[in-house]
Amino acid sequence: MRKWMLIFGLLIITVLIDEIGTVLFPSINIDKLPSVAVFLVTMVLMFFLFKKMDKTAQELGSLEQKVKNIFDTLDVAIWSHDIKTNTLRITPGIEKLYGYSLEAFYQDFDLWRKVIHPDDVAVLTERLEKISLGEPATSEYRIIRPDGEVRWIQDSGFPTFDEDGSFIDFNSVLFDITNRKESEDRYRSLVEMSPDFVAVINQGNITYINETGAYLLGASGPFELVGLSVEQFAPSDIIDDIRIRENSMVGGKFEVMRFEFQIKRLDGVIIDVEMSAMPILFGGRMVTQVVGRDITDRKKAEKTIQYMAFYDTLTGLPNRNMFKKYLNEVLNQQKKQMAAVLFLDLDRFKFINDTKGHSTGDVVLQRVAKRLQNTVHKEGMVSRQGGDEFIILIENTNKESAAIIAQRILDEFLNPLEVNDQEFFITPSIGISIYPTDGNDEETLIKNADTAMYVAKGHGKNKFQFYDSNLNGNSIQMMEFENGLRKALERDQLILHYQPQIELTTGKIVGIEALLRWHHPELGFISPSEFIPLAEETGLIVPIGKWVLQTACKQNKVWQDAGFQRVPIAVNISVRQLQEDHFVDNVIKVLDQAGLNPKYLELEITESIMQNIEESTIILNQLKYLGVNLSIDDFGTGYSSLSYLRHLPIDKIKIDKSFVDDILYHSTQGVMVKTIIDMGNHLKFSVIAEGIEQKEQVDFLQQNECNIGQGYFFSRPLTVEQMEEYLKKTIRIEVW
Ligand code: C2E
Ligand code: MG
Ligand code: MG
């Protein structure tokens, strides 16, 4: 349109030029020529100009379309209000944001305000204040769409004023920020509900901290902490470290830094925390965000575990591990010095433990530990190896100095220990090995000191003894054997095997004998005949025998509960055990703990009880009164006569294997066996033959009315599992 008006205008100008030309230059004939030329040139120029304008307009049009498309796709609307003319222009995007038609906004200029969520109306006051001052204002509020959906809007408005200060124009850009707000809400609730503490630190001050953090730091709420310097809580080296590491992070590559340290709470209590820190952008500034948790309990547990790994919980002394570690350190020292290892074992401690109970034993050990520590003082390291064994390491010493310390310990123990108003005389026996003469490594030094300790014990206890490689090999072997037996019980090297006792006429199982085995780590299974005498001699039979009784009774109860045939379990008892105080009480306790009826326990005693007949009678009567069965083992090898036995409450006699063996020799033809059976039957004892290996022996015994037998012919002593298989078969036989 404009184009044609211009051409028309130019035509008039051309005509005017013509007319003026004719007036001014009448002499020129070809009067129309210049104006035509001008017209033509102008036309050409105009052609190009319009073409260019068309193109620009087209470009502008498509740019406008593009911008419109962009606005349509974005969740954004522009609100432009010309106050002077009171004309409003809104981009169609508003429909998407508010859910109302564009028309609705034109019809009601106040609609935007009416749909604001009632809870957010207050933000308008502040907004209006700013705008009236000519300042741009950005507000965030919720709106309610016609379908009831609530959306978050960010409204950035900027007013325009003319020179006179009149408000002429107001423009606003509206964004839908619901998604951002929701994720912010999610993040906020995560942070606020987090069991970990979350805080934001800006220039060394707390700008934000969640409830957990406030609680952790001993505050009643975050408000108490905001603004406080972190220096009040965290150690300065940690703060410096964070600062240095943050500054070294370049190119926006932020790494998480992790720390464990101690925090001082507001109430002064120190707690352990584990913390991660990372720089983040917060409110347009780089700040440090920290996340952490209280690890005081974990640290305590770690310390306890570490303590338990290296210290003895009963006495607080370093334990075996710690001792070994320390000894190795000493041995690996550059400057080689002499060192002494003192292996110390308390004499008669087991007696205290057995007679006074473990709790008294424990207190005694604690007192001993203290006394040792006071005596050795700073001259060495005292450790407890376990049980009543202690090892002392003395560094930078020689034989003479070590002897002085050992003697000082012995002297110290001449005074009794007082526990629960009772006095205990406890003496130690000490074995000493010297580095490097008696060994170059920790194991050899301890072993040799241990051996020397046994020599000291063998020499009448309450002594110290240096290790000597020339000591008689055999006696050392014996001592090592005894030493091993001492440890067998605590190291679970003892087990029981079980041998069935059979009723000869029916083949039924009528009893089981428990037989002890020592599974030596180097020597394999050791027969009780080899170690029982040693155990009796050393008194070790008492704790070992107690263990056998407990294990056998418990096992019998397990089998009974499993539904196997109920038979008594026979346990071998040494005379030494019978002579112990409280033997009967102990049997009662064991039966009670196992829940076993006394009629299912049989005690096998050898004829040697006859040597102390009066005392034995009392004990045996007590046992009989309990309901326990009593039998005389290896009958015939001792010096007792059957008539003596009559006075004892005995139920059974066990004919020794040597007589049973005799059955097979024609010369004697089992005369002894026959006599024993006859007399036994006559005296109303039940008679059992042991060590039966052949069918002829069974036949002979049956013919002579011996009703029970035991021996390899029926079964060798069996492990628990084998015995169970045996018992299962027995059940099957019975069922058939
Ligand atoms: P004992 O009480 O007379 O036990 C019988 C021994 O004869 C067992 O030897 C057993 O394995 C073995 N035996 C059984 N049947 C036959 C057979 O047909 N032929 C042969 N050659 N031997 C047979 P073990 O187990 O070596 O026990 C030896 C001794 O050690 C026992 O003799 C008993 O006096 C003692 N003993 C075993 N366990 C204990 C225990 O727990 N406490 C005590 N104080 N002594 C025990
Ligand atoms: Mg026996
Ligand atoms: Mg026997």
Neighbours of ion ligand 2 (CB under 5 A): 572, 604, 633
Quote the ligand 3 centre to 644 CA distance (angstroms).
Answer: 19
Cis peptide before 279 (omega within 30 of 0): no
Q: Of the bound ligands, which one is closest to the alpha carbon of residue 515?
A: 1
Residues in the chain: 736
CATH architecture for segment(s) 535-706:
Alpha-Beta Barrel (3.20)
Checking if the pLDDT of 385 tops 70, the result is yes
Considering the four listed CATH numbers 3.90.1150.10, 3.30.300.30, 3.30.450.20, 3.40.640.10, the one that applies to the domain covering 194-299 is: 3.30.450.20
Mean pLDDT of 51-58: 70
Mean pLDDT of 599-615: 86
Binning pLDDT at 50, 70 and 90, where does residue 30 land?
A: very low
When mean pLDDT is compared across 11-15, 324-328, 407-411, the lowest value belongs to 11-15
Q: What is the overall mean pLDDT for the chain?
A: 85
Binning pLDDT at 50, 70 and 90, where does residue 163 land?
A: confident
Binning pLDDT at 50, 70 and 90, where does residue 694 land?
A: very high
What is the radius of gyration, based on Cα positions, of the chain?
Answer: 53
- Fold entry, domain 74-181: Beta-Lactamase (3.30.450)
Tell me whether domains 74-181 and 194-299 share a fold. Answer: yes
Residue nearest to atom 34 of ligand 1 (CA): 572
Mean pLDDT of 653-666: 87
- Measured between alpha carbons, how far is 701 from 703 in angstroms, rounded to an integer? 5
Atom of ligand 1 nearest to the CA of 527: 26
The ranges assigned to domains in the chain are: 2-69, 74-181, 194-299, 311-484, 535-706
Residue nearest to atom 3 of ligand 1 (CA): 634
Residue nearest to atom 17 of ligand 1 (CA): 691
Atom of ligand 1 nearest to the CA of 654: 3
Cα angle vertex 522, ends 348, 485, to 5°?
15
pLDDT of residue 735: 37
The pLDDT tens digits for 223-272 are: 999 999 999 888 889 888 888 888 887 776 778 889 899 999 999 999 99
Q: Evaluate whether the domain defined by 311-484 bears CATH number 3.30.70.270.
A: yes
Checking if the pLDDT of 405 tops 60, the result is yes
Ligand 1 pocket, mutate which of 513, 515, 653 (most atoms under 8 A from CB):
515
pLDDT of residue 7: 55
pLDDT of residue 31: 47
pLDDT of residue 695: 94
346, containing H or E segment: strand 339-346
The pLDDT tens digits for 86-139 are: 888 898 889 989 999 989 999 998 999 999 999 999 998 988 888 888 888 999
pLDDT of residue 25: 46
Mean pLDDT of 73-83: 82
- Measured between alpha carbons, how far is 306 from 310 in angstroms, rounded to an integer? 6
Quote the ligand 2 centre to 363 CA distance (angstroms).
Answer: 38
Q: Which residue has the higher pLDDT, 256 or 567?
A: 567
- Measured between alpha carbons, how far is 218 from 11 in angstroms, rounded to an integer? 93
Report residues whose beta carbon is within 6 angstroms of any ligand 1 atom. 499, 515-516, 527-529, 532, 545, 548, 572-574, 604, 633-634, 690-693, 710-712, 717
Quote the ligand 3 centre to 574 CA distance (angstroms).
Answer: 12
Quote the ligand 2 centre to 603 CA distance (angstroms).
Answer: 9
Contact yes or no for 541/527 (Cβ under 8 A): no
Q: Of the bound ligands, which one is closest to the alpha carbon of residue 574?
A: 1
Mean pLDDT of 618-638: 91
Binning pLDDT at 50, 70 and 90, where does residue 2 land?
A: low
Q: Which residues, in sequence order, are CB contacts of 490 under 8 Å at separation 6+?
A: 386, 387
Highest-pLDDT range among 152-161, 272-281, 496-505? 496-505
Q: Of the bound ligands, which one is closest to the alpha carbon of residue 501?
A: 1
Checking if the pLDDT of 534 tops 70, the result is yes
